[in-house]
Amino acid sequence: MAAGSPGTQGGESLLFLTDEQLRKGIEAMFFAYRAFTADPDRILENYEYGRAHHRAIHFINRQPGLTVNTLLTMLGVTKQSLNRVLRTLVEDGLVESRVGRRDKRERHLHLTEKGATLERELSDAQRARMRAAYRAAGPAAVAGFRQVLEAMMDPDIRRHYQSMKDHSV
């Protein structure tokens, strides 16, 4: 019973589509996203890394052994931009780059122990905020939150997102 058939109800049921409601949603995204990145950003300052390193570490953790190309697609940046980040992570011993067994052109990325430790520190902070928000809003709100975000994604990315590990339900 997501969208349903509009027009049936006088318009009250479409109040969530008014200009003002949409603008509030836009602002909510902006403010919430800023808070969402603030905690890991603070931690990253202590090391010599930035948000770009965090993102790389996040996805390598989520999908150990993923190739550089796959990571590129998920991050949506150029290989030159990713390479700068990836190089320092490999040099610093946080990420291991293994030559593919079937296709030796590919590099498969894995977190080392050290990388996994930083990943944990970062995601602990980020999950703490997410958990507090989830707890405050309740399960039904969380389901709606996820539905709207998913609907907002570009279709190609949505497929990637949906195919990623999810032990729920």
Partner DNA sequence: CTTGGAAAGTCAACATAGCTGACATAAAAT
Partner DNA sequence: ATTTTATGTCAGCTATGTTGACTTTCCAAG
- Three-state secondary structure call for residue 148: helix
Q: Confirm or reject binding of residue 46 to its own copies (CB under 8 A).
A: no
Q: How far is the CB of 17 from its own copies (least distance, A)?
A: 6
Q: How far is the CB of 78 from its own copies (least distance, A)?
A: 15
Question: Which of the residues 12 through 41 are near DNA (CB under 7 A)?
Answer: none
**For residue 34, is it left (φ>0), alpha (ψ between -120 and 50) or beta?**
alpha
E strands within 58-166?
66-67, 95-99, 107-111
Question: Which of the residues 68 through 97 are near its own copies (CB under 8 A)?
Answer: 76
Q: Confirm or reject binding of residue 11 to DNA (CB under 7 A).
A: no
According to DSSP, the β-strands at 66-67 and 107-111 are: antiparallel
Q: Confirm or reject binding of residue 78 to DNA (CB under 7 A).
A: yes
- 143: nearest Cα among 163, 167, 169, 118: 169
Q: Confirm or reject binding of residue 68 to DNA (CB under 7 A).
A: yes
Q: Confirm or reject binding of residue 20 to its own copies (CB under 8 A).
A: yes
Q: Confirm or reject binding of residue 45 to its own copies (CB under 8 A).
A: no
Which region among 14-22, 66-74, 119-127, 135-143 touches DNA (by CB under 7 A)? 66-74
Q: What are phi and psi of 97, to 5 degrees?
A: -115, 110
Rounded CA-CA distance 102/76 in Å is 26
Rounded CA-CA distance 79/37 in Å is 23
Q: Confirm or reject binding of residue 117 to its own copies (CB under 8 A).
A: no
Residues that bind DNA (CB under 7 A): 48-53, 55, 67-69, 72, 76-87, 97, 99, 102-107
